[in-house]
């Protein structure tokens, strides 16, 4: 006999899952191990005969062969049927459940536990996989299970999988009228009376912006349907959490306490709280049953637990941008507008000579003044002076109330009378949006949302990273916390962590850390100070400080543990490009502005390493969504105009990860290239680092990578090779030369002794007209030997191609080609016709390796006196050997006797 066991006080989810399992386990029977929920009882009064239900008392325990338990992992929820779990005849015990984080005491041989809204969903998915159809009655009870346990897909634990399961059940004929009747049957007369009593005696507590309520109801006996009463109380009173206790006697000296909990407060976990007392459930819905306990003590313990779990609301310190760009009252409207343009702000704070805040001016105020021609008027005539201000500890609800009441778009943050930050309406809306998503999202879904924060637990991080890297980051975060700073892992390292296989130990070789804490105690030198502190712990690391960019770097070289690791540490900063392709001007700022200055969304994600929110992911620009969509999306429309190397980085990331460049990003690239801005900038400015040193760096990354050919093809498709030179194109001839180059490098430099990525770059430059080669090579700051080679290439190529065809003997070929080094001959070979290339190839593979048949010792024995003539003699012997005049030592000696008689 194969049995499917529903837990005591069976609900529709347990029944629906059990009904579906009768198809997956043909011949099995459903056993209700105890009482049923009132609505389930009423439903079965009409529909019992349509399902394979049997009474517990009719089961012959000796004939049980398998047990399948649905919607629970606790044996005490199976009543007396729990005894069957220990029968020796039972060969298999299977558990289906959707309550995560519970310690099961059922000795299951197989378990199917997943994070969905209802256990029934797991059964539906298996029925779909096996293409099993249902009757309308079966589909109806299963749909009821999902509807009731997910609140018709409105509860926090609801997932897309539940919605898809419901859709399939509707296709199977689930009756919507029956579902409507039993999903929300209303309260029974007894529960309606208790509702009135509960409303009269409900106690409230407001904490951190949330309302928690509790009440104890004393009855003469067990009351079915209390969970419906708890839900009704939440809906009627609009509270955020409730603890509903019901105490009733079981006899003269015995009593029972049932507590039902409901919570809509993000980050609370009632399941964990109730488990401590022997109960359980979901994070936002749980219950427990106890006997002979002090009901008030239990309720107080649960209430304290709920209070401890309520998260602290964000404060102005968490939301604000800092430092604040300030101007003096005498600043002109035109200058204020220029500053807004530079930093992308929507308003500016105005301070007097003593740095005291005196007013705020918005972009709209400035635009109106400019419209009326008051470019040179001081801002003091247009600023708002009746200011509402807040402190760093002002909470989000208080900030929201101020903005709504007074219709204020930005609130200055003052600490000890000093302006330390500003909170804008955008900051508040972003945080509120994140809170709403935090309530709706769970697990992977939360990580997909745009512009939010999600958690990346430190154990997850430790599991993904190599142990030595984890130890380094831990030490860095400790040092930052000592100084009152926040520390973030940012950029490519976070991206690679999110893309990495969870089972691996990732050894990232290039790490970017950002210190943020300007509004507390960090200053522009915070990154350098932290780097110096870390060097004390890692004396093997070399410290480099770049004062102009407020950054420091720790470098390890072939370290036994950290290998060749590079760690950049910077203070959070913002940047401004004075003209296209220039180096940016940087200023200390906040982590949000630091991320805003970056290139692509997938590189603008930060992972907080310091407490109290260690493991928090900051994703203000949808980087997580783009990682999932496998696309490269730029942050700013002018990004490529300001820095053309971002085009090369975008292509590199796209090819490396197998991503697509997002269509609008591609349009921005093409617009920047076709605008001619790079040519104009190069003509107007002597220094254009983004077209020189930084472009060379990106070319190095691309040309030394295994995917370099695909990257070059994509760059050419975008027209981006014009950044190297306007005439450079990856046509069929250049592709042929690059293929030949690879053959030459593999054959002639297998070790290698040459720098292969530089040879690829020289081949690209060599494709340009001779008059452009040296200029481009110098622009990219190639080594002196590369510049010299490209300078002389045309002349040498002419000499070789003119003389080589006329040479008849191998010795003549060797005599000509040995004057040129390997890189030069490779460049000539890839650009030459087949006949020339064949002779160069034979020179390298055969003729250049021929040695004289006699050496210096042989000459000495033959009576030749050592001296300068040895070199000539040996050269002549090689030439004679190459030309086939001599083939062995005897002939070599005869050759000497003839040409060098003694």
The residue-averaged pLDDT of 45-66 equals 90
Q: What's the pLDDT tens digit per position in 487-535?
A: 999 999 999 988 887 655 778 889 999 998 644 444 567 888 999 999 9
Q: Which one, of 756, 636, 629, lies nearest residue 702 by Cα?
A: 756
Q: What is the predicted pLDDT for the residue at 712?
A: 96
Q: Mean pLDDT, the chain, as a whole number? A: 87
The residue-averaged pLDDT of 882-889 equals 89
Q: What is the predicted pLDDT for the residue at 519?
A: 46
Determine contact, residues 410/425, Cβ cutoff 8 Å. Answer: yes
Burial per residue of 593-622, b for 16 or more beta-carbon CB atoms within 10 angstroms, e otherwise: bbbbbbbbbbbbbbbbbbeeebbbbbbbbb
Decide if pLDDT at 737 tops 80.
yes
pLDDT band (50, 70, 90) for residue 447: very low
User: Using CA atoms, how far apart are residues 274 and 305, in angstroms rounded to an integer?
Assistant: 9
The residue-averaged pLDDT of 187-202 equals 86
Q: What's the pLDDT tens digit per position in 244-271?
A: 999 999 877 889 999 999 998 888 899 8
Q: What is the predicted pLDDT for the residue at 454?
A: 54
Decide if pLDDT at 689 tops 70.
no
User: Using CA atoms, how far apart are residues 457 and 713, in angstroms rounded to an integer?
Assistant: 40
Q: Which one, of 338, 332, 375, 380, lies nearest residue 359 by Cα?
A: 380
User: Using CA atoms, how far apart are residues 774 and 333, in angstroms rounded to an integer?
Assistant: 48
The SS3 call for residue 558 is: coil
Query: What tokens appear for 309 in the block?
Result: 């779990």
Crossing angle of helices 645-657 and 663-674, in 10° steps, is 150
Q: What's the pLDDT tens digit per position in 117-130?
A: 999 999 999 999 99
Q: What is the predicted pLDDT for the residue at 503?
A: 58
Q: What's the pLDDT tens digit per position in 76-119?
A: 889 899 999 999 999 999 999 998 877 788 999 999 999 899 99
Q: What's the pLDDT tens digit per position in 605-616?
A: 999 999 877 888
| Phi, psi dihedral angles at 265 (to 5 degrees) | -90, 125
Put the strands of the sheet holding 542-546 in their side by side order: 452-455, 616-619, 605-608, 486-490, 510-516, 566-571, 551-555, 542-546
User: Using CA atoms, how far apart are residues 789 and 786, in angstroms rounded to an integer?
Assistant: 5
Q: What is the predicted pLDDT for the residue at 686?
A: 63
Q: What is the predicted pLDDT for the residue at 121?
A: 97
Query: Per DSSP, which regions of 145-233 are E strands?
Result: 203-207, 210-218
Q: What's the pLDDT tens digit per position in 753-810?
A: 999 999 999 999 999 999 999 999 999 999 999 999 999 999 999 999 999 988 889 9
pTM of the entire predicted model: 0.62
Q: Find residue 29's DSSP bridge partners.
A: 3
pLDDT band (50, 70, 90) for residue 448: very low
Q: What is the predicted pLDDT for the residue at 370?
A: 92
């Amino acid at each position: 006999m194969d049995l499917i066991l529903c837990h005591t006080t069976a609900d529709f989810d347990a029944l629906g899952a059990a009904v579906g399992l009768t198809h997956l386990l043909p011949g099995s029977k459903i056993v209700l191990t105890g009482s049923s929920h009132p609505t389930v009882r009423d439903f079965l009064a009409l529909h019992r005969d349509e399902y394979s239900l049997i009474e517990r008392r009719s089961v012959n325990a000796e004939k049980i062969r398998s047990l399948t338990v649905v919607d629970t992992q606790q044996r005490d929820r199976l009543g007396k049927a729990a005894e069957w779990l220990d029968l020796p005849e039972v060969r298999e015990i299977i558990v289906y459940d959707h309550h995560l984080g519970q310690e099961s005491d059922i000795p299951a041989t197989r378990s199917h536990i997943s994070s969905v809204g209802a256990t029934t969903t797991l059964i539906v998915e298996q029925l779909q996989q096996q293409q099993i159809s249902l009757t309308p009655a079966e589909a109806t009870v299963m749909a009821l299970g999902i509807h009731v346990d997910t609140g018709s897909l409105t509860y926090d634990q609801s997932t897309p999988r539940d919605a898809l399961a419901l859709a399939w059940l509707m296709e199977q004929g689930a009756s919507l009228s029956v579902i409507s009747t039993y999903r929300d049957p209303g309260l029974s007369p007894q529960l309606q009376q208790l509702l009135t009593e509960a409303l009269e005696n409900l106690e409230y507590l407001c904490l951190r912006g949330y309302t928690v309520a509790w009440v104890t109801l004393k009855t003469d006996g067990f009351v079915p349907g209390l969970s419906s009463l708890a839900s009704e109380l939440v809906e009627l009173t609009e509270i955020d959490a409730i603890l509903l206790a019901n105490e009733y006697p079981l006899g003269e000296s015995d009593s029972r306490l049932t507590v039902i909990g409901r919570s809509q407060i993000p980050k609370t976990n009632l399941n964990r709280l109730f488990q401590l007392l022997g109960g359980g459930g979901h994070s936002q819905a749980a219950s427990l049953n106890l006997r002979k306990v002090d009901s008030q003590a239990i309720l107080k313990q649960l209430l304290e637990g709920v209070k401890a779990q309520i998260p602290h609301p964000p404060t102005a310190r968490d939301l604000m941008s800092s430092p604040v760009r300030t101007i003096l009252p005498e600043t002109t409207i035109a200058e204020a507008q220029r500053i807004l343009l530079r930093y992308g702000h929507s308003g500016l704070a105005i301070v007097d000579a003593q740095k005291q805040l005196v007013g705020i001016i918005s972009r709209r105020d400035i635009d109106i003044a400019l419209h009326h021609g008051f470019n040179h008027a001081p801002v003091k005539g247009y600023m708002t002076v009746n200011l509402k201000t807040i402190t760093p500890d002002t909470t989000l609800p208080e900030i929201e109330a101020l903005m709504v009441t007074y219709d204020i778009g930005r609130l200055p943050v003052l600490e000890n009378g000093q302006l330390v930050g500003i909170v804008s309406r955008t900051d508040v809306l972003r945080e509120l949006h994140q809170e709403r998503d935090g309530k709706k999202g769970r697990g992977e879904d939360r990580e997909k949302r745009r512009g939010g924060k999600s958690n990346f637990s430190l154990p997850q991080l430790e599991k993904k990273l190599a142990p030595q890297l984890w130890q380094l980051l831990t030490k860095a975060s400790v040092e930052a916390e000592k100084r009152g700073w926040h520390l973030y892992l940012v950029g490519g390292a976070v991206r690679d962590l999110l893309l990495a296989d969870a089972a691996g130990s990732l050894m990232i070789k290039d790490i970017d850390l950002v210190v943020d804490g300007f509004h507390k105690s960090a200053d522009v030198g915070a990154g350098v100070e932290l780097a110096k502190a870390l060097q004390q712990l890692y004396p093997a690391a070399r410290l480099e400080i770049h004062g102009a960019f407020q950054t420091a770097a720790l470098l390890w070289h072939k370290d036994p543990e950290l290998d060749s690791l590079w760690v950049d540490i910077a203070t959070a900063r913002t940047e401004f490009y004075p003209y296209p392709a220039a180096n940016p001007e940087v200023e200390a700022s906040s982590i949000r502005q630091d991320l805003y200055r970056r290139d692509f969304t997938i590189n603008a994600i930060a992972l907080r390493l310091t407490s109290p929110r260690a493991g928090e992911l900051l994703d203000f620009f949808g980087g997580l969504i783009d990682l999932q969509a496998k696309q490269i999306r730029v942050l700013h429309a002018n990004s490529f105009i300001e820095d053309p190397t971002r085009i090369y980085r975008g292509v590199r990331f796209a090819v490396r990860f197998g991503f697509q460049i997002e269509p609008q990003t591609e349009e921005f690239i093409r617009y920047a290239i076709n605008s001619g801005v790079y040519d104009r900038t190069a003509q107007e400015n002597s220094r254009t680092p983004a077209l020189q040193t930084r472009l060379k760096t990106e070319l190095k990354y691309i040309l030394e990578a295994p995917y370099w050919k695909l990257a070059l093809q994509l760059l050419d498709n975008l027209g981006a090779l014009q950044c190297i030179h306007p005439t450079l194109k990856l046509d069929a001839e250049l592709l042929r030369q690059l293929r030949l180059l690879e053959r030459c490098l593999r054959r002639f430099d297998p070790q290698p002794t040459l720098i292969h990525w530089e040879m690829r770059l020289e081949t690209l430059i060599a494709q340009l007209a001779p008059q452009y080669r040296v200029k481009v090579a110098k622009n990219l700051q190639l080594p002196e030997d590369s510049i010299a080679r490209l300078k002389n290439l045309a002349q040498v190529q002419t000499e070789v191609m003119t003389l080589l065809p006329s040479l008849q003997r191998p010795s003549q070929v060797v005599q000509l080609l040995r004057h040129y080094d390997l890189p030069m001959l490779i460049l000539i070979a890839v650009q030459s016709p087949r006949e020339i290339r064949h002779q160069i190839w034979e020179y390298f593979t055969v003729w250049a390796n021929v040695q004289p048949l006699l050496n210096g010792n042989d000459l000495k024995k033959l009576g030749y006196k050592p001296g300068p003539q040895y070199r000539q003699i040996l050269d002549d012997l090689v030439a004679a050997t190459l030309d086939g005049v001599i083939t062995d030592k005897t002939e070599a000696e005869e050759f000497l006797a003839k040409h060098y008689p003694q």
